[in-house]
Amino acid sequence: MMCLAAACREGPHSSSVATRPSPTVSTPAAVAHDDHSYSNPNEIRVRHADLDWDVLFDRKILCGRATLTLERPPAGHATRLVLDTRDLDVEKVEASRDGSSWTDAPFSLAPPDKILGSALAITLAQDATRVRISYATRPQASGLQWLDPPQTAGRKDLFLFTQSEAIHGRSWIPLQDSPQVRITYRARVRTPKNLMAVMSANNDPKAAPDGDYEFEMPQPIPSYLIALAVGDVSFAPISPRAGIWAEPPIVGKAAREFADLEAMIRAAEELFGPYRWDRYDVLVLPPSFPFGGMENPRLTFATPTVLAGDKSLVALVAHELAHSWAGNLVTNATWRDFWLNEGFTVYLERRIVERVFGQRRAEMEAVLGLQDLEKEIAALPDRDEILHADLRGRDPDDGFTDVPYEKGALFLCHLEQAFGREIFDRFLRGYFDHFAFQSITTEDFLRYLHANLLDSNPRPAARVPVEEWVEEPGIPAGAPRPTSEAFARVEAEVTRWLERKVPASGLSASGWSTQEWLHFLRALPPSLGHEKMDELDSAFHLTDSGNSEISNQWLLRAIAHRYEPAYPRLEQFLTSMGRRKFLKPLYEELVKTPDGKNRALAIYRTARPTYHPIAVATVDKIVGWPG
Ligand SMILES: [Zn+2]
């Protein structure tokens, strides 16, 4: 359905945001080939966007316009600008030389590709410097989730949030949706009067909801980091530059859980250089958010499933904070290079955890990470085990496995081990300074690695098979193997219990952290028997655990053992949150048997309308929806 864009534009605020010249940004000279964008930044590059929307909850659409500031290379005279879109209704396109007088620009929208969406080709005069697109999104936009009140924590207001990574930004903004194109933006957003709007930009902690908001993001960012949320959220400060946005019923709990935010920022700064984004706030979203966190600059989006009550799952925030260096400051140029974002970030995350919460905790998390990686690699085809992934013809969301995260981090651990922490830290800090606010390919990284670390230290360099790490499947033979003394003690308890030397109630588990519990549950043999499941549950009430990670691990076992006392909790867990990390393994375990598959379909029928489109796409495939 076409939106009457003019109607929502002609309100009292129609003059809206003025365009302005974009700042100068240094970028690598070459434009990388991006399999996931139709855009042509080698001919014309978007430098800045002025965005202006009405948020129409009743129609589940954004309606407004995007004004893009353009730049051509020296001596470039391209007259065709190609943008990425998906499911957008484009009403009108205009172009301008100076930003004051506008003329209609001819445009065409190509037939949609299932993965990439539709190329929007605009014909411009050689000297046009701005283009203005009046458009509306559609209710099924893959990057927008519109929540009804029952899907929120407060249960009384509507909520909207965006998720642009990997290529969902194009479903709500017509842009060059390739991570190598960095832009600054300003935005004006009109919402229902009682709701607050926040963006990956300069949010004002003192702002009161009035239904009309302006934002500015002065640092150039890739399109997948543009983010918006609208809902009944309030703010709780942690420090002068950090705080929590969340729905009123959970903002206090979230602020207590993330009380170490400032300590984490300081730890990261000591290790990797200054935090360059001014504020660092965390928005705790309603439970349908499909990811653990999303590193939207200045405003991390986080799942409420990490609010464990004991700070045991805050590594997630360390991870999103670490993206302020790895990913947001130095960005993968294409989704093939995704490991540059995530492998570096997992490595940094563990360094932050070590500083703030101690070596013991960081070691445990590294061991759990390696377990995840080995389990995943056992099930993946060779081509999906390669860091420098080939994602041609595929949705880049298919590349979100443990490989870019944990294998990438293990590669960096190997470099640290070979060169020593002092030298490697100096290298990392130089890397972030050198490529700050740039998007780079794997080849750019490898060139820098050779020039600044490997070539001048040939002896340790010979111990790290860089080519094998980056271009081959599997884990190289000499890879580091993280170990944990705490976990060795847990394993000893597993043995004592399995050998019936002690009942479950006699295990010395009273001081165990979440990580030790996870290791305990993973270390149990695949077939435990109903009686042992019962014994554990009676001793430790695992079915009733409110810790999402422990619940996930326990429920996986419960499904495998057809342990019926846990079924009501399983159903409750799967219908109360939409985090893909938990949905995927639990539904996969369920569909292994015919009656499990029936159970999966019955639960999914209720849960599906509450999940995010990204989670729906994943679970549809697993359960074979519509059944
Ligand atoms: Zn990440």
Query: Is 179 in contact with 335 (CB distance < 8 Å)?
Result: yes
Q: Name the region of 60 (left: φ>0; alpha: ψ -120 to 50; beta: rest).
A: left
The pLDDT-based confidence of 613 (bands split at 50, 70, 90) is: confident
Q: Tell me what percent of the residues of the chain surpass a pLDDT of 70.
A: 95
Nearest CA to 284 among 292, 275, 272? 292
Adjacent-strand bridge partners of 80: 123
Q: Find the mean pLDDT for residues 252-260.
A: 97
What does the alpha-carbon distance between residue 159 and residue 155 come to, in Å, rounded to a whole number?
A: 10
Query: Is 513 in contact with 364 (CB distance < 8 Å)?
Result: yes
Q: Quick one: how many helices (H) and strands (E) in the chain?
A: 20, 21
Nearest CA to 308 among 512, 545, 518, 547? 547
591 Cβ contact partners less than 8 Å away, ≥ 6 residues apart: 597, 600, 622, 623, 624
Report the chain's mean pLDDT, rounded to a whole number: 94
Residue with tokens 């978007």: 46
The pLDDT-based confidence of 14 (bands split at 50, 70, 90) is: very low
HSE (CB half, 13 Å, CA atoms) of 72?
16
What does the pLDDT read at residue 8? Answer: 45
Among 75-79, 100-104, 174-178, 366-370, the range scoring the smallest mean pLDDT is 75-79
What does the alpha-carbon distance between residue 469 and residue 340 come to, in Å, rounded to a whole number?
A: 13
Q: Dump pLDDT digits (tens) for 310-354.
A: 999 999 999 999 999 999 999 999 999 999 999 999 999 999 999
Question: Which residues make up the environment of ion ligand 1, defined by Cβ < 5 Å?
Answer: 342, 345
* pLDDT surpassing 70 at residue 25: no
Q: Dump pLDDT digits (tens) for 193-239.
A: 999 999 999 999 999 999 999 999 999 999 999 999 999 999 999 99
* pLDDT surpassing 70 at residue 12: no
Q: Find the mean pLDDT for residues 29-38.
A: 90
Q: Find the mean pLDDT for residues 370-390.
A: 97
For residue 7, give both structure tokens: 């109607």
Ligand 1 center–CA 238 separation, angstroms: 23
Nearest CA to 182 among 232, 153, 218, 150? 218
What does the pLDDT read at residue 3? Answer: 45
Among 13-17, 187-191, 323-327, 441-445, the range scoring the smallest mean pLDDT is 13-17
The pLDDT-based confidence of 143 (bands split at 50, 70, 90) is: very high
Q: Find the mean pLDDT for residues 91-99.
A: 97
Contacts 24+ apart (CB under 8 A), 448-452: 452/427
Residue with tokens 């085809």: 381
12 Cβ contact partners less than 8 Å away, ≥ 6 residues apart: none
DSSP-derived secondary structure for 547-558: -HHHHHHHHHHH
What does the pLDDT read at residue 625? Answer: 95
CB atoms within 10 A of CB 135: 25
What does the pLDDT read at residue 141? Answer: 96
What does the pLDDT read at residue 627? Answer: 67
Ligand 1 center–CA 557 separation, angstroms: 27
What does the pLDDT read at residue 565? Answer: 98
> In the sheet where 89-96 sits, what is the strand order?
103-104, 89-96, 130-136, 61-71, 45-56, 182-190, 212-222
Helix axis angle, 315-322 to 338-357, nearest 10° = 130
Answer positive or negative: Cα dihedral of 451, 454, 456, 458: negative
Ligand 1 center–CA 474 separation, angstroms: 21
Ligand 1 center–CA 472 separation, angstroms: 22
Q: Dump pLDDT digits (tens) for 117-140.
A: 999 999 999 999 999 999 999 999
Ligand 1 center–CA 319 separation, angstroms: 6
Among 15-19, 39-43, 618-622, the range scoring the smallest mean pLDDT is 15-19
Nearest CA to 233 among 213, 262, 217, 218? 213
Ligand 1 center–CA 224 separation, angstroms: 13
What does the pLDDT read at residue 18? Answer: 40
Nearest CA to 589 among 534, 545, 552, 538? 552
Among 141-145, 515-519, 611-615, the range scoring the smallest mean pLDDT is 611-615
Q: Tell me what percent of the residues of the chain surpass a pLDDT of 90.
A: 92
Q: Find the mean pLDDT for residues 42-65.
A: 98
* pLDDT surpassing 90 at residue 598: yes
Ligand 1 center–CA 306 separation, angstroms: 15
Q: Find the mean pLDDT for residues 427-440.
A: 98
Q: Find the mean pLDDT for residues 264-293.
A: 96
For residue 388, give both structure tokens: 């420098």
What does the pLDDT read at residue 150? Answer: 81
Q: Tell me the CA distances in angstroms from 539 to 75, 491, 520, 556, one per residue in order.
A: 75, 18, 14, 19
Q: Find the mean pLDDT for residues 475-493.
A: 98
Ligand 1 center–CA 183 separation, angstroms: 21
Answer positive or negative: Cα dihedral of 14, 20, 23, 29: positive
What does the alpha-carbon distance between residue 199 and residue 215 come to, in Å, rounded to a whole number?
A: 7
> In the sheet where 159-162 sits, what is the strand order?
144-147, 159-162, 228-231, 196-199
* pLDDT surpassing 60 at residue 103: yes
Q: Name the region of 553 (left: φ>0; alpha: ψ -120 to 50; beta: rest).
A: alpha
What does the pLDDT read at residue 442? Answer: 98
HSE (CB half, 13 Å, CA atoms) of 414?
24
DSSP state of 142: T
For residue 136, give both structure tokens: 């509306």
Residue with tokens 């729905």: 247
* pLDDT surpassing 50 at residue 95: yes
Q: Dump pLDDT digits (tens) for 342-362.
A: 999 999 999 999 999 999 999
Q: Tell me the CA distances in angstroms from 321 to 166, 255, 302, 325, 625, one per residue in order.
A: 19, 16, 11, 8, 36
Q: Residue 484 in 3-state DSSP?
A: coil
Q: What is the CA radius of gyration of the chain?
A: 25
What does the pLDDT read at residue 433? Answer: 97
What does the alpha-carbon distance between residue 468 and residue 479 come to, in Å, rounded to a whole number?
A: 11
Ligand 1 center–CA 347 separation, angstroms: 11
What does the pLDDT read at residue 11? Answer: 37
What does the alpha-carbon distance between residue 65 and residue 137 come to, in Å, rounded to a whole number?
A: 11
DSSP-derived secondary structure for 182-249: EEEEEEEEE--TT-EEEESS---TT----SEEEEEEEEEEEGGG--EEEES-EEEEEETTEEEEE-HH
What does the pLDDT read at residue 1? Answer: 43
For residue 440, give both structure tokens: 């780079």
What does the pLDDT read at residue 206? Answer: 93
pTM of the model: 0.94
* pLDDT surpassing 70 at residue 175: yes
What does the pLDDT read at residue 20? Answer: 41
Instruction: Provide φ and ψ at 389, rounded to 5°.
Output: -75, 150
Q: Residue 385 in 3-state DSSP?
A: helix
What does the pLDDT read at residue 155? Answer: 87
Nearest CA to 221 among 271, 151, 109, 296? 296
Instruction: Provide φ and ψ at 268, rounded to 5°.
Output: -65, -40
Annotated catalytic residues are: 320, 405
Ligand 1 center–CA 144 separation, angstroms: 20
| CA 519 to centroid of chain Cα atoms | 25
